[in-house]
Amino acid sequence: MDRTSNLTNSAGLNCQWSNNVCYVVIEWYPTMGHQTVMDLLHEGHPGCTRMKALARSFVWWPGIDGDLEGRVKECHQCQLTRYTPAQAPLYPWEFSSAPWERLHADFAGPFLGRTFLVVVDAFSKWLEVFPLSTATSATTIDKLEAFL
């Protein structure tokens, strides 16, 4: 954005630059209620995050975030274009046929300043827990080599 030019958008929001500071002039009419402001913010279906960001630059009232979220949830177009991560197919683990055939390992904590390496046998569900002072690959490899 050119910091020397003044901008006015269709919502009547006017940005005027002076000494590298942008002053926003809002043409506010007493009859302009929250619904009207939300209509202006919702112009072009920008989505909830952008609507909130734009609102924070210009307006505020108690509960505005909830009002904007409600507006987006009610809008069919916004729901069609919102970010939805691709559905990943689920592949269940195959059952183990013998003990120690497959192990599951993960970290738990930190709890009381320690991290725990948790190892579970997929066949018997036997649990082994190793307290670690630091959860690094080196300490994990050392514990697993000593264990197995």
Q: Which is nearer to Zn ion, 13 or 48 (CB)?
A: 48
Q: Which is nearer to Zn ion, 76 or 125 (CB)?
A: 76
User: Distance between alpha carbon 123 and the CA centroid of its chain, in Å?
Assistant: 36
- Give the tokens for residue 126: 């036997």
Q: Which is nearer to Zn ion, 18 or 81 (CB)?
A: 81
Q: Give the chain's count of helices (H) and strands (E).
A: 5, 6
Which of 45, 52, 82, 102 binds Zn ion (CB under 5 A)? It is 45
Q: What is the DSSP secondary structure assignment for residue 101, as one 8-state letter? A: S
C-alpha triplet 44, 46, 51: angle, nearest 5°: 120
Total interface residues for Zn ion by CB under 5 A: 4
Q: Which is nearer to Zn ion, 36 or 77 (CB)?
A: 77
CA 50 – CA 53 distance, rounded (Å): 5
C-alpha triplet 109, 148, 125: angle, nearest 5°: 60
Confirm or reject binding of residue 77 to Zn ion (CB under 5 A). Answer: yes
Piece of the chain touching Zn ion by CB under 5 A; list 28-36, 68-76, 88-96, 111-119: 68-76
Confirm or reject binding of residue 78 to Zn ion (CB under 5 A). Answer: yes
Q: Which is nearer to Zn ion, 45 or 143 (CB)?
A: 45
Piece of the chain touching Zn ion by CB under 5 A; list 24-32, 33-41, 74-82, 129-137: 74-82
Confirm or reject binding of residue 75 to Zn ion (CB under 5 A). Answer: yes
Piece of the chain touching Zn ion by CB under 5 A; list 3-11, 77-85, 92-100, 139-147: 77-85
- Give the tokens for residue 34: 């929250």
- Which residues, in sequence order, are CB contacts of 143 under 8 Å at separation 6+? 117, 130, 132
Q: Which residues lie near Zn ion (CB under 5 A)?
A: 45, 75, 77-78
